[in-house]
């Protein structure tokens, strides 16, 4: 064999390696797209299979894997289960979404791996509805768009004035303060 044919074989091997690498990347990204449960900034239709508390649900997506994931509802903070009005908040959310097909708009992922999302059912924003019914606080620390924050705080103030849900009693402790005291 001449040195020229060895060089050609080496070059062909390098080209073959590059082709294999790009095929592998394409197949990997395609499979991730099909099997990856949820991505930030995307919307999905999902069935609510569990309501953990007033601001956390588990949903199942209709894809190849039937992916399930925990969803933390964006912009709201519901009472903890051991806190006053905690069970009522969970029951309110169960009545609104449990067993139903909802639209999940993933805002981001939190430090626990949950998808922080806005939930809607039949055109109604469930996050807003929870605040409006007095079943949750507007989580002002985490609401970024100023207009959005203003609108949600207005819903909360309306619920307070009309003494809906958790606002019926005069002694309310925010879940954030409750978690600090019990930690």
Is 72 a known active-site residue? yes
92 exposed, middle or buried (CB, 10 Å; 0-12, 13-18, 19+)?
Answer: buried
- Between CA 110 and CA 161 the distance in angstroms is 32
Q: Which of 19, 22, 69 is nearest to 42 (CA)?
A: 69
The residue annotated as part of the active site, out of 72, 90, 118, 128, is: 72
Is 114 a known active-site residue? yes
The residue annotated as part of the active site, out of 90, 114, 118, 128, is: 114
The residue annotated as part of the active site, out of 80, 90, 118, 128, is: 80
- Phi/psi at 140 (nearest 5 deg)? -55, -30
Residues labelled as active-site residues: 72, 80, 114
């Amino acid at each position: 064999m001449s040195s020229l044919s060895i060089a050609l074989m080496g070059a062909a091997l390098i080209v073959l390696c590059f082709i294999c690498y790009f095929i592998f990347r394409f197949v990997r990204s395609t499979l991730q797209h099909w099997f990856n449960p949820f991505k930030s900034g995307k919307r999905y239709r999902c069935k609510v299979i569990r309501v953990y508390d007033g601001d956390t649900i588990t949903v199942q997506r209709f894809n190849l894997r039937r992916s399930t994931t925990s969803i933390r509802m964006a912009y709201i903070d519901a009472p903890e289960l051991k806190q006053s009005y905690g069970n009522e908040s969970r029951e309110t959310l169960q009545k609104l979404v449990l067993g139903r097909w909802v639209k999940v708009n993933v805002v981001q992922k939190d430090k626990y791996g949950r998808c922080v999302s806005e939930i809607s059912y039949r055109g109604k924003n469930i996050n807003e509805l929870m605040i409006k019914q007095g079943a949750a606080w507007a989580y002002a620390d985490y609401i970024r768009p100023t207009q959005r924050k203003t609108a949600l705080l207005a819903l909360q103030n309306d619920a307070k004035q009309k003494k809906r849900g958790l606002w019926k009693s005069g002694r309310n402790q925010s879940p954030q303060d409750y978690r600090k005291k019990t930690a």
